[in-house]
Each structure stands twice: as structure tokens, then as C-alpha cells.
């Protein structure tokens, strides 16, 4: 085999072996979620929550729009709060999306989880998010998708 053929095969093998799909456990938000908001819901159990009024829960829910430096009670005249508890591997990325279907009076909170195989332990997260105001008469739909 000549030198050119050997180098070509070696380059081809190197390219094929190093171009495997890498797992990216990054997080993102979309839809009507307020991107930089942090929700503090101490003492409220996880699960599926669509909260449009503070009287719906027995504890105050607070929000921060400055990276957690200051917290204020959620202003339900401007915002709604959602939570959707998930469990996945300890190396996972979460794409959180809240979308409104005004024609059908529904609001859908979907979390798409990308699980990486870099660890074997599981972690549970409540996935609290702040959104622009959603009418209280809308029907909530909750979805979890795993990749």
C-alpha cells in the first residue's frame, strides 16, 4: 500500500472515531417563561403546579429578577408560576417551555430532558418557572420528554 493510501485511511478512521455525538447537558427556556427569574417556593411540595393567585398555596412564593440578590412576593397581576417535578440522571440538561393556546384556553408546560450517561445517580428537581400572566380559567397541560 502506498503512503498516500495509508494516510488517507488513517485520516478517515480518525474522523469517524472522533466525530461521535457528544452529550450536552445545557439548560434553556422558551415560550412565555421569564428567562432570568428565580422562584423561591419554600415549604411547597413538588408536583404539577399552575398558580395564578397567591391564595392557591399555603406559603408565599417569592421571585427574584436580579440573580437571587433580592426576593419579592410574586405579583400575580403580572405573572403566573408553574412547577413540574422531574427525576433524571445527575448530568442532565433541561429545556423548559411554557406555551399558551388561546383558541383552546390551554397552557402547556413541557420539559425536555437530555440525559447524559456520565453519572449513575438520579436527581429530582421541581422546575419552578415564572411566566407572564396566564388567565386562571386556562387548563394546564404538563409534559415530560426524555432524550
Q: What's the rounded Cα separation, in Å, for the pair 100 and 96?
A: 14
* Cα–Cα separations (whole angstroms), residue 47 to 64, 128, 137: 22, 10, 20
Q: Where are the domains of the chain?
A: 23-146
Predicted confidence pLDDT, tens digits, the chain (147 residues): 566 555 556 555 554 444 455 777 889 999 999 999 999 999 999 999 999 998 888 899 999 999 999 999 999 999 999 999 999 988 899 999 999 999 999 999 999 999 888 888 899 999 999 999 999 999 999 999 998
The answer to whether 53 and 144 have CB atoms below 8 angstroms apart is no
pLDDT of residue 16: 45
pLDDT of residue 19: 45
The answer to whether 62 and 81 have CB atoms below 8 angstroms apart is no
404539577: which residue's cell? Answer: 48
CA atoms within 13 A on the CB side of 43: 6
Residue 22: all three cell numbers together: 457528544
pLDDT of residue 11: 56
Identify the bridge partners of residue 80 per DSSP, sorted by sequence position.
Answer: 131
Which of 28, 36, 49, 31 is CA-nearest to residue 98? 31
Amino acid at each position: 500500500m502506498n503512503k498516500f493510501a495509508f494516510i488517507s485511511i488513517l485520516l478517515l478512521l480518525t474522523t469517524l472515531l472522533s466525530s461521535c455525538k457528544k452529550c450536552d447537558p445545557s439548560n434553556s427556556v422558551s415560550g412565555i417563561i421569564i428567562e432570568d427569574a428565580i422562584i423561591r417556593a419554600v415549604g411547597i411540595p413538588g408536583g404539577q403546579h399552575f398558580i395564578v393567585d397567591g391564595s392557591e398555596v399555603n406559603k408565599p412564593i417569592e421571585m427574584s429578577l436580579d440573580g437571587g440578590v433580592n426576593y419579592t412576593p410574586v405579583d400575580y397581576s403580572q405573572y403566573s408560576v408553574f412547577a413540574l417535578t422531574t427525576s433524571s440522571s445527575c448530568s442532565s440538561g433541561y429545556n423548559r417551555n411554557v406555551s399558551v393556546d388561546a383558541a383552546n384556553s390551554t397552557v402547556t408546560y413541557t420539559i425536555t430532558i437530555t440525559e447524559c450517561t456520565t453519572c449513575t445517580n438520579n436527581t429530582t428537581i421541581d422546575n419552578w418557572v415564572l411566566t407572564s400572566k396566564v388567565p386562571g380559567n386556562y387548563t394546564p397541560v404538563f409534559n415530560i420528554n426524555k432524550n
